[in-house]
Structure 1
C-alpha cells in the first residue's frame, strides 16, 4: 500500500483553517496526543466523577474513548437475541493494542445505557467503573489494569453485558409491525454514535477492527460479515434457538456493526449477490433488484478498482427503517420504499454499493468530515448511473434533484448555520442533529467542481489512487486536500488549476456553493409540465377552483406518460418551489389525475402530499396519515411532519403520538425535536 510522501505532510501542516479549530499536525512529528481523548491524573480506583479526567479529543470530538492509547484490533460479539425481553445478552471480546510509548494502565470505552455485569482482562477479573453520563455521548467505561502495557502489546478484554430498553441502536418490532405479521423482528442502526448502546467500544470512525459475530437467535440472523457455511439454512421453530456465525476479515469502524433477525428468507439477485427479506416480499424484491445489482458492481469497479468485500447483498427491512439504506458491509440494509415496482428507486443500491469504497474501505476520521463519506459516495453513485445509461446527462439529472434537496436543507438550517458548512464543528453536539443532504450534495458539488476544473480524464486517474492510499484507513479533509495536491505535483497544468481553488471557502463557508452549469436536457420535459401548471396559479387566487381557470392548460393523465419516475420527481419538486402554491382544488386534481395519491412509489406520493399540504388541501390528510403510519424513512417522515405542522400542528402531534412506537428511535428523536421547535 502506497504511503503518502513527506511533501504530503508538509502541505497538510501548512493548511489554514478559518474556524479556529487547532490544525492537525503532520504525522511525521505526531506525538502521543494525536489521538488523545483522555488525560487522567487519578489513581486506578473506582470513582463516580470525571473531575480528574480531561476530555481533549483530537480528530473525533464525539467519542469518550482513549483511542490515543489503545486501538481495537479485533472484536468478537457473542450475543443472544432475546425477543421477549427485547434485549441482547452475552459478552463482547475486544483485542486492544497499546499504541503509546508510555505504559498504558487505563482503558476508556464508549457506552450508552448498557447493563454491564463483569469484565475480565486476560482472563482475570478487572476493576472497572461507569463514569457519569456526558450527553449526548453516554457514560465512559473505565477499566483499570493491574500493570502497565507497553506499546504494541495487546490485552484481551471480555465484557459481560446486556442492552437495555434505552438502547438507541436497536428497534424491536412485534409481529403486527412486520409485513406478514408472523414473527417479531429486530434490526440495528449504529451510525453515527449508537454502537456504544449495543456494546462497549471505541465508537469512532477513526478506529477500525476485524469482527466475528456469534449470534444465537430463534429466527434467522443477518450480520455485517461473511456467513459461515455451517449456519442454519432452514428457518427454525420460534421455540428453539440456533447459532449463526459471521466473519468480517476487513477492518471496519464500530458504526458498521450490524445485526438483524426475523422471518427472513433469501434469493439470488446476481453472481455475487443475494437479497434477504420477509417471505411475502421476496418475489417483488428479486424483480426490483436482479436487473441492476451486478451491473452497478461492474460499473463501480471500472471507476475505482475491484470490489474488496467478496459478496454484495441487500437486506430489505421492515418499513420503520429510518434511512434509504445503510452501507453495512456485505449486507446493505435497505428501506422497502426502494421496492416501487418500477425500478425507479434502485439508485439507492448504487449509492450504498459505492459506500463499499467510500466510507467502508476509506472512512471519514470523524463526523465533522462526513462529506468525505457521503460526498464521495454520491459522486460515485452518479458516475455509476452515467456509466449504466451511457450518458453523462443522467449524472446531471440526478445532481439537479440533489440540488433541490441541498437548497431545502440550507433553507431549513439557515444560510449561516454551522451545519451548512462542508466541515462542521460537532464539539459537544450530537452528529444526528447535523444529518441532512448537505454533506451528500455539497460534497458532491465540490468533487464535481474539482473534476471540471482539472478535467475528467485526469480526475479519473486520481480516483483509484485516493482509494488505494487510504484503503483500510480513516482521514480528514486536510488529508484529502494533501493527497490530491501530492498526486498532481508533477503535472504543471493541474497544479496551476488547483492553485486557484479557494479551499477555505469550500471547507468553511456556510450556505450554498456556486451552482454548476448542469445539463438540463433530461429535466426540461418536467420543467415544461410544471410551467403549464404554473399558469393555473397565475390566473387564479389560491382559493379558486379549476373550473374558473382562464388558463388554456387542461391537465390530462397523458401529461406524465413520457416522464420516467425520476422525471416525475423533478416535476413535483418544481411544483413545490412555485412562487404561488397550487390551490387546494388544483392540488387534489393533480393527485387524482396523475394517480400520485395512490402511487406505490413513495418518492411520488410523499412529494404530492407535501404539495397538497402546502396548498391547504385537507382532502390529502388520509393519504398523509397512511404514509406516516406505514413509512419510517426520515427522508419522507420529516418533510411530511414539517408540512403538516404548518397546516395543522395539533394533527401533527396526534399522528406522531399514534405512530411513535412504529418509528425507529433515531427517527422518533428527530421528529420529537422538530415538534418542540
Structure 2
C-alpha cells in the first residue's frame, strides 16, 4: 500500500524542531496547530478550525444539584483567519440564553440542524470579536454528567456529581469546539454547595474553596493545551491524602484509607514511567476514586485520573490499571489522536507503555502475564467486531456517520500494543525506546494521525531503511484488519502450569487438589478463562465452594467466574451476578455480562431483563447506551 497523502503543520513544526529549533521538552507549550489533511478532518465535530478556532476556555459555572444542571458562562478566546465572520462550536442540548463579545455587546447566534450523535452546531457571528461569552445551562440529562443521590455514594450523606467527556460528551456541558485535534488551555471558577468540594483536571488554585453566599467557590487553571474531552469535574464530600511529593488520592472519607493503601506506590510508578520516556510534564499526578457508577476503569484526565472503585482489590493486584492511566500522560494527553478514527494512537501506545511500567515495577514475568492476557483480549475483540477480517479489526478506522464510541474496542488497545511490541523486536529495545522518547518530545501538546506517525517513523526510526519497514509491514498493521504473521505474542512461562491445571480440572480433578495458594490475580483469571464453557453443575459448585468465587472482592476474578457460570447456565451464580451488576457500572464488566446472559436465550434473557431494570437507573449514560443497544432495551 502506498502512503496516504499527509501534509501537516504539526509535522512541519516537528521537523523544524528536529533541525535545531527550540525543543518542545523545554519550550513552553503552545496551542496546537491545525492539521490540514483528510485524515485529520474530524467528522465528529461541526467546527471549522481553519476559519476560527478556540484557543482558551474560561468557565464560570454553578453546580445546581436541585435542577441537576451546570449553569453560568463560558468565555472563549479565538484565533481567526483573515476575514473570518463566524465561529462554529459544538453543542448538544445546551440551553444558550445570550452570547456577547468581551465588552458585553450581543452577538447573533443560531443552533443549526444536527444529529443524534454530534448534537447541533452553534454558529456565532463574530463582528470582529476575538473573545466571546456564552451564557448557558446544561440540560438535566446531559450525557457527560451524572448526578448521584446521597444513597448512591459511599457516605450516604451528600449528593455527588462527576463528568465523563470522552469521546464527544463534553459538548453537553461546555460550548466549545469538541474535537481532540483542537487543543485548548482553560480555567474555571466553580460554585458548589458549601458542604461539598469541587475537583477538576487542572491545577487547584483554591484547595479549601472560598466562602460565598450560598456555597463555596473553587478555582482551577490548566495552562497547557489539552484536548477538550479531558476537561473533567467532580463535586462531592471529598477528602485528600498525600502519597508522595507530587502524588495523592481524593475520594469520599469512607474510602480514603483503603484507597491510599492500595495506591501507596504511586510516586514510584511515576518515577518508573519517567525513567522510560522522559519527564512527567503536568505537575501533580493525583487520583480520584469515584462512586461505583463510573463507567470506565479509569479516565486519564490530566493531573487527576478518575478511577472506578472496582480497582481496589485489597491486595494491590490491579494497579496495572493505574499504570495505564499514568501512561496516558504521555500517549493521549501529551500526544493526542487528531480524530477518533485514530483512537489506537492513544490506547495502543498506552497499553504498550503500561506493560513497560509494570515490567519496571514488578518484573518481566508479571508483564508477560498481562501481555498474554491482552493477547486473549485481542482475540475476543476480533470476535466481538465481527471477526479478524472485519473493517473494525483495523487500527485506523472509518467512523464517519457512527458514534466514536463504536471504535473504542480492545482492538485499539491490544492490537495496537502488539504492533508496537513487534516494532520493538524488529529494531531493538534500545533504539525503540530512544525513538519513543523523542517522539513524545517532538509532538508534545499536539495532535497526531496514523499517517503522521508513519512519516515520523520513516524519518526518525527507520532512517530510510526500507527493508526494516517492509519486514514490519507498518501500513498493513495500521490500515488492514487482523494481525500479520510477524506479530509478537509475549507469552507468560507461568501460564503453562495454569493451563495444565485447567485441563486437569476439566477432566475431573477436584478443585481442592489444585494448589492455587500462591497464584496471582492474573493466574486465577487465566485459569477461569482457560476452562471449557461446558462444565457440570457439580464442577462449578466445587469451584465456587473451594475458592469463594461468587463473593470474590477482586472484580477481575469475579467477572471471569460469572462469565464462566453464565456460559454454563449455572443458576446458583445468578444472585452473585445480580449483586455485581447492580453494585457497579463499569462497562468493561457490565456489557459483556449482559450480552452473555442475552445469548443464553430463554434461560438468560429474563435474568438480564430483571437485573437491568434495577441497575439501569444507577448507570452512567455511557454504560446505558452500550447495554441498551446490546439488549434492544426500550426506555
* CA-CA distance at 1:15 after TM superposition: 4.5
Q: In the alignment, what sits opposite 1:65?
A: 47
Contact 1:60-1:365 within 8 A present in 2 as well: yes
Match of residue 186, structure 1, among 161, 166, 170: 161
Tell me the equivalent position of 2:477.
Answer: 506
Cα offset for 1:58? 4.9
Contact 2:240 2:248 in 1 (8 A): yes
- 1:258 paired residue among 208, 223, 232: 232
Shift of 1:138: 0.4
Matched, 1:631 2:584: yes
1:432 and 2:405 aligned:
yes
For 1:409-424, list aligned pairs within 5 A: 409-415=381-387, 416-424=389-397
Residues 34, 181 of structure 2: 8 Å contact kept: no
Deviation of the 1:191 alpha carbon? 0.2
After superposition, what is the alpha-carbon deviation per residue over 1:243-270, rounded to whole angstroms, capped at 9, x for unaligned? 0011111111110010000111111112
Residue 306, structure 1, aligned to residue 279, structure 2 = yes
Query: Corresponding residue for 2:202?
Result: 225
Alignment-derived partner of residue 619 in structure 2: 663
Structure 1's 418 and 28: CA in aligned 2 closer, same or farther, altered over 3 A? closer
Question: Displacement of 1:513 after TM fit?
Answer: 4.5
Structure 2 gaps, min length 5: 13-32
- Residue 496 of structure 1 corresponds to 467
Is 2:115 aligned against 1:134? yes
Residue pair 1:386, 1:392 contacting (<8 A) in 2 also: yes
Confirm or deny: 8 A CA contact 2:73 2:136 kept in the other structure: yes
Check the 8 A contact 1:526/1:563 in 2, yes or no: no
Matched, 1:643 2:575: no
1:121 corresponds, among 93, 101, 104, to: 101
Which of 193, 198, 220 in structure 2 is aligned with 1:246?
A: 220
Q: Tell me whether 1:394 sits opposite 2:350 in the alignment.
A: no
Kept in 2: contact 1:35–1:66 (CA 8 A): no
Q: How many Å apart are 1:393 and its aligned residue?
A: 2.9
Query: Deviation digits for residues 429-487 of structure 1, max 9, x if unmatched?
Result: 10112221110101101100100011111111101110001001001011111111111
Q: Structure 1: how far apart are the matches of 2:115 and 2:218?
A: 35
Distance in 2, Cα, partners of 1:185 & 1:438: 34
- SS of structure 1 residue aligned to 2:162: strand
Residue 200 of structure 1 pairs with residue 180 of structure 2: no
In 1: Cα distance, 2:116 partner to 2:595 partner: 26
Tell me if structure 1 keeps the 8 A contact 2:53–2:87: no
1:417 positional shift: 2.6
CA contact 1:111–1:199 (8 Å) conserved in 2? yes
Asked if structure 2 preserves the Cα contact closer than 8 Å seen for 1:597 and 1:605, the reply is yes
Give yes or no for contact 1:329–1:360 (8 Å, CA) kept in 2: yes
Aligned to 2:28: none
The answer to whether the 8 A contact 2:340-2:407 is kept is no
8 Å Cα contact 2:56-2:77 kept in structure 1: yes
Is 2:586 aligned against 1:602?
A: no
Rg larger in structure: 1
Question: For residues 402 and 68 of structure 1, do their structure 2 counterparts lie closer, same or farther at Cα, with a shift above 3 Å needed?
Answer: same
Instruction: Call closer, same or farther: CA 1:28–1:612 in 2, change over 3 Å.
Output: closer
Is 1:676 the counterpart of 2:632? The answer is yes
Task: List aligned pairs for 1:541-580, cutoff 5 A.
Answer: 553-556=509-512, 559-575=515-531, 578=532, 580=533
SS of alignment partner, residue 440 of structure 2: helix
Give the C-alpha shift of residue 199 in structure 1.
1.4
Aligned to 1:44: none
Q: Give a deviation string over 1:203-257, Cα, whole Å, max 9, x none.
A: 1110111110110001101101011146339xx89x9410001111111111001
> What SS does the corresponding residue of 1:666 show, helix, strand or coil?
helix
Residue of structure 1 equivalent to 2:26: none
- C-alpha change, 1:16 and 1:485, in structure 2 (3 Å) is closer
Query: Is the contact made by 1:264 and 1:276 (CA closer than 8 Å) also made in structure 2?
Result: yes
The equivalent residue for 2:268 is 295
- Specify every segment of 5 or more residues in structure 1 that has no aligned partner in the other structure, as ranges: 1-13, 18-22, 38-55, 148-153, 537-552
Aligned-residue offset at 1:498 = 1.9
> Which residue of structure 1 lines up, in the alignment, with residue 188 of structure 2?
213
Question: What residue is the counterpart of 1:80 in the other structure?
Answer: 62
Q: State the alpha-carbon separation in 2 of the partners of residues 635 and 474 from structure 1.
A: 27
Structure 1: distance between partners of 2:3 and 2:606: 49
Any conservation in 2 of the 1:530–1:574 contact (CA below 8 Å)? yes
- Show the counterpart of 1:546: none
- 1:489 deviates by 5.3
Which of 283, 308, 332 is 2:305 aligned to?
Answer: 332
Question: 2:130 aligns to what SS in structure 1?
Answer: strand
State the shift of 1:491 in Å.
7.6
Q: 1:161-182: per-residue Cα shift (whole Å, max 9, x none)?
A: 1010231100010011111211
Please state if 1:407 is matched with 2:389.
no
How many residues are treated as equivalent by the alignment? 605
Distance 1:613 1:29 in 2: 50
Aligned-pair CA distance for 1:633: 0.4
Distance 1:241 1:513 in 2: 58
Q: Structure 2: how far apart are the matches of 1:96 and 1:15? A: 37
Distance 1:557 1:352, change over 3 A: farther
| Alignment correspondent of 1:104 | 84
- Give the superposition deviation at 1:333: 0.2
Q: Which has the higher contact order (CA 8 A, sep 6+)?
A: 2
Asked whether the equivalents of residues 477 and 483 of structure 2 are also in contact (C-alpha less than 8 Å), the reply is no
TM superposition score normalised by structure 1:
0.86
Matched, 1:612 2:565: yes
User: Does the CA contact (< 8 Å) of 1:15 and 1:478 recur in 2?
Assistant: no
- Cα deviation for residue 659 of structure 1 reads 1.3
Residue 42 of structure 1 corresponds to: none
* 8 Å contact kept, 1:394–1:522: no
The structural deviation recorded for 1:57 is 8.8
Query: In 2 relative to 1, CA 454–29 (structure 1 residues): closer, same or farther, beyond 3 Å?
Result: closer
Select 2:245's aligned residue among 262, 265, 271: 271
